[in-house]
Structure 1
């Protein structure tokens, strides 16, 4: 981890929600979801919060660092109101090692 990553660092992530990321599109096979309004689906919002966290981290990572954990406090708004808040924890991993472990697990199933 680079010294530039310090508590309190912030990041602004802007995303225009397409129709396909609204509640009725989350599970098209669920009749209950089809009756709901076309607003940003919570399931997609959680993923977007994770994406924003990844983008914040990118410039602060060194090659080969593994095992560090980073915690985020995330606030999402639609330009008018708060639409979500959350906390997210990420583990910094070396991708080739992580993918090898995932492949091992897949073989065992």
Structure 2
């Protein structure tokens, strides 16, 4: 890993919530989800948090390395309606070997939407893909 991969790295992502990121779209085959209100789905919120953390790492990983999410401990405290701008801030708070821990906070113009931690693991992309291919052939 590069020497620059240190606690304190951060990123901020602003995201306008489209209808396609609301609860009814989370699993379109689910009648139960389809019946719920059109607000930002927790599943999509997690993806947006991961995206922000990935951005914080830009330029700080060695060639052939990437990260994958391995743990999520996030609140989802308030609904975010379609058209609202969500702002996510992520800061790398701990580096322990290949494990990276981020502190995250997300908000819109009315409230805190989310806060918590997200962990990512640094992977060797080729090794990971080889392992994945072996699993797929079983």
Relative contact order: is structure 1 or structure 2 higher (C-alpha 8 Å, sep ≥ 6)?
2
Question: 80-89 or 90-99, which moves further after superposition?
Answer: 80-89
Runs of 4+ residues deviating >3 angstroms: 64-67
> Secondary structure of 1:13's partner?
strand
Tell me the TM-score normalised to structure 1 length: 0.85
In structure 2, what is the equivalent of residue 53 of structure 1?
53
Query: Aligned partners of 2:119 and 2:60: how far apart in 1?
Result: 16
Q: Please report how far the alpha carbon of residue 24 of structure 1 lies from its aligned counterpart in structure 2 after TM superposition.
A: 1.1
Question: Size of the alignment, in residue pairs?
Answer: 108
Work out which of the two has the higher radius of gyration on C-alpha atoms and give 1 or 2. Answer: 1
Q: Cα RMSD between the aligned structures?
A: 1.9
Matches of residues 1-109 of structure 1 in structure 2 within 5 Å? 1-63=1-63, 68-108=98-138
Tell me the SS of whatever aligns to 1:51.
helix
| Cα shift readout 1:3-30 (whole Å, capped 9, x = no counterpart) | 3332233211111111100011112233
Stretches of structure 1 lacking an aligned partner (at least 5 in a row): none
